[in-house]
A and B are shown apart, each in its own frame.
Chain A
Amino acid sequence: MENEKKKGIDVLNILSNRTFIEEEKSFTTNHILIGNQGNKITEAGLDAVKDLLNKLYEHLPSKDMLLHQKILLDFIKFQLVNVNNANESISNLYFIENNFNNSHTINVLLTLYDELNLTKLKDELSFITKSFNGVVKRTKAQREQGLIGEQQQVNDIQKISSLLAKFYHWLIFNERDFADLVENNLLKTMIITSVIVRGKIKRDKTQCVGKCGKTYLINEKPVGSKCDCGGEIIQAPPIVEFQDISYVFPEGISEIKTEKENSPSNIFNLVSNVLIPNELLLILNRVFLGKFSQLLCIPNFSQFVIPETNDLINVYAGYNIIGEDNIFITYFVTDSRFNDSRLISSEKLPSIIKQVISDLKQGYSWKSTINNSLLKNWYITSFVPIEKLSEYDHLEHLINKDTFYEPESETPLEVVESEGDQIDD
């Protein structure tokens, strides 16, 4: 029981709907649903959640963008890992987005459940978004005809959206309708690129859990001191600072994908978008009064959709923490748009991920890890610093330039080996 308490992060389910009815004007309803064992959320915590949602909406595409945007985020699943004990994954954080016409839904879901079926969750949210859109549309038309007043409109919208939110929460936590790991996706996807990013885990920030919610450097305001607003100062959650990156891709990738999508910085953006906005973590830490201070949020699986064709891009990720603060995150990007014999079906992905993560854990270098895997015939680039990525327009430029990895020289890729075997217990 004691152990449970220490490990358990309370269940939090934030569901927010927003519909734009005119240029500037929108209807938003927020529902914060807490599980049975949940602590009460403080007032400052509630404000923080509202702040969070507003910030998240800023990232959401507007209606115009929806029409032109090529790739939209569907969902991300994160693992919360204790930095003091890398093998202990504590809780899961789900971030799901949905759009319908001019309506958006955001769901932030914090739970111990590991087995939620994301496709089903997405379908249910799509129902919620549509239904919300419908009630706003209807009340708007009724108001224009003078059938109802503003208050009635607000009430009607609130009523339906609260029913939808309660039901969603009930499905997840009471009926457990979504507890089903079998994602029945009929689309055939192919592995298109793999990426490894090296980074450092930074733990040099503190934050205020009071009204202002500011962040400070640890030297400036150490843990336990008071913020200017009177709030308590706690350790801010650790974050990953990316350093350099290496790409693995098949021969002739420029013939398979368009040039723009092949730019190394675009691929980096796609995978690093998967890292949760630092903002979200800071706010969750504020809501839960420091429970996230030692938790590193690492992406596990994410899905993007191409609205025009309903094609899917998935990013799978695995991590290795080596020593105190070195982290390696390996990403595998799969895409349903391409079907080329040079690519490998994503059906093989689970075994590839398993093998790559375990090889890296055993201290093999990135190069030999890939050479041992099914991706052995693909190109491997050496590590390029993140800030220099913009200098390259195309993945293949990374091979042509002097950074291209040549089989004779092992040095650029030896980093892992030199630090290897440390995380084995």
Chain B
Amino acid sequence: MINIDNNIEFNNLRYVPRDAVELLSEFTESYQILESQINDFIRTQPTFLNEIRKKLRGEIGFLSSRQKDIALSIYGLIVTDEIIKNYDPFNYANDISTLLDATNKKNKCTEEEFIGLITSFINSLQAVLNITDLVINNFIQFKSYDIPDDIIIMLLIRRHYYPAINEINLMFEAPEFTIDLRWVVAIFAYILEYKLEKNNQIRRVQTIGEIYSKIVKIYPLSEGEEIVTDIIYLYLIRTYIDKLSNGLSSRIDILKLSLKSETELEEETEKNMAVKSFYPKQDSSSEQIVRLIEKPIIETLEMKVDFNEDERRKLEVNIESALKRIAIEESRTQNFTNENSYNLIIKKSWMNVFEQHPQMIIPIININQYTKFVNEPKAYVKENENEIVRQLQFKIRHYIGGERMNSKSLAKAFSRLLFEILNNPSVKKLTF
């Protein structure tokens, strides 16, 4: 078992909810955007609206004509923005009608209130998607640390779902609705099912409305801070924990193995390091960086969105603060005094990226290795790791220029190198 005493990184595996002020400003902003998007949609997509209106005649009959337009154009927006892929229109109609049932205003709300409610609904879907991703990632981490199951359950409740559910509740308070807690739980269950379906743990994803109706039948209470733990345990943990465990078992095993081998690697490096670090280290220092640079990589390579200078600057700031955080956690100062620590981060994070996207090493490797690389890209990366790392460090040095290597200069080099790689036409062209 991995010793987690004094481990600050472990303690960070939790969801940090946003505060009411932040949520309110998010709401106001998205309300305005949504309102204008709805008007645009109604103006520009009359055919779509008419078709879908005919289809859902029975399902949304309870809405007023204007509310129908609003509700249906929002459906159009959800589907075109791909917030939820393959969102069935009938499911959507069912979700909206149960959502109205689950509020204190039922069908008596005004047009503004209705748009407000739907704004919060969309925002909450987005938030729950993010939270569920975090839950899944952290669940894998907890499992790989061999923490007892009962404790993992409580870590998920206390440090993830509990603050998250309170946040979602606040989101619906922004347009002045009081929402049934069971409906909030149903959103979480729905998104979890949606994720589990991808892991083949669930055959058919139930709609939010369906889940809500099931919970209402047997769970008699609908509000109160005190029931949050209970309702999370019954409808999120007890229902899905085994499926989650099964669906993620291979990822958990991989992480366990890599933790083992990385601990060995780190022990070795630690011996060579002059500075003793206070906290036992784990893989997450490099993972934090990988997580940051993953987004532009996927956007550029898979979604073909260009990585521009603005984004590079944003990324630089983010990497800098991440590096500082890592340095503070490990050596209590913003910058490592020992360059080895930086070299380790460079090595681990970039090699991780290269294993996923081998084409990214093209700007780094020697041009006469090119054919060798193209024939067997993945094997090439593995076999020539030392050479690649050497070249990588050379590049990083180049971007750092004459400065000392510290969190700031390294962040600059990281983001510039990424900029160079992602704007290289061969990198963009090749896929493996």
Task: Give how many B residues have a beta carbon under 8 Å from the other chain's beta carbons.
Answer: 26
Q: Choose the segment among A111-119, A132-140, A228-236 that binds chain B (4+ C-beta atoms closer than 8 Å).
A: A132-140
* B-side contacts of A145, CB under 8 Å: 220
Contacting pair A134 B230 (CB below 8 A):
yes
A160 interface residue (CB < 8 Å to B): yes
* A-side contacts of B148, CB under 8 Å: 166, 170
- 0/1 string, A124-146, CB within 8 A of B gives 1: 00010011011101100110010
**Complex Cα spacing A372 to B228, Å:** 54
Contacting pair A100 B226 (CB below 8 A):
yes
Contacting pair A137 B226 (CB below 8 A):
yes
Given contacts A147-B218, A167-B154, A177-B11, contact A138 B227 (CB under 8 A): yes
B5 interface residue (CB < 8 Å to A): yes
B254 interface residue (CB < 8 Å to A): no
- 0/1 string, B5-16, CB within 8 A of A gives 1: 110001100000
B233 interface residue (CB < 8 Å to A): yes
**Complex Cα spacing A164 to B220, Å:** 22
The contact of A130 among B5, B229, B233, by CB within 8 Å, is B229
A176 interface residue (CB < 8 Å to B): yes
The distance from the CB of A29 to the nearest CB of chain B, in whole angstroms, is 14
**Complex Cα spacing A289 to B233, Å:** 39
Where chain A touches its partner, the secondary structure class is: helix
When C-beta atoms are compared, the residue in chain B nearest to A103 turns out to be: B226
**Complex Cα spacing A100 to B228, Å:** 15
Contacting pair A127 B11 (CB below 8 A):
no
* B-side contacts of A269, CB under 8 Å: none
- 0/1 string, A144-176, CB within 8 A of B gives 1: 010100000000000010111011001000111
Contacting pair A138 B219 (CB below 8 A):
yes
* A-side contacts of B231, CB under 8 Å: 134, 138
* B-side contacts of A135, CB under 8 Å: 227, 229-230
B158 interface residue (CB < 8 Å to A): yes
**Complex Cα spacing A101 to B226, Å:** 10
**Complex Cα spacing A176 to B219, Å:** 35
* B-side contacts of A167, CB under 8 Å: 150-151, 154-155, 158
Task: Give how many A residues have a beta carbon under 8 Å from the other chain's beta carbons.
Answer: 25
Contacting pair A175 B218 (CB below 8 A):
no
The distance from the CB of B169 to the nearest CB of chain A, in whole angstroms, is 15
Given contacts A130-B225, A130-B226, contact A163 B154 (CB under 8 A): yes
**Complex Cα spacing A166 to B228, Å:** 19
* B-side contacts of A160, CB under 8 Å: 229-230, 233
* B-side contacts of A164, CB under 8 Å: 154, 229
B122 interface residue (CB < 8 Å to A): no
**Complex Cα spacing A257 to B210, Å:** 59
**Complex Cα spacing A160 to B231, Å:** 11
Given contacts A138-B230, A163-B233, contact A174 B218 (CB under 8 A): no
- 0/1 string, B205-237, CB within 8 A of A gives 1: 000000000000011110011111111010000
B255 interface residue (CB < 8 Å to A): no
B4 interface residue (CB < 8 Å to A): yes
B153 interface residue (CB < 8 Å to A): yes
**Complex Cα spacing A174 to B148, Å:** 11
Which 6 A-B pairs give the minimum distances between C-beta atoms? A134-B226, A131-B229, A167-B154, A134-B227, A141-B220, A130-B226
19 contacts between A and B (CB under 8 A): A100-B226, A131-B230, A133-B226, A134-B224, A135-B227, A135-B229, A135-B230, A141-B221, A142-B220, A147-B218, A160-B233, A166-B150, A166-B154, A167-B150, A167-B151, A170-B154, A175-B11, A176-B5, A176-B6
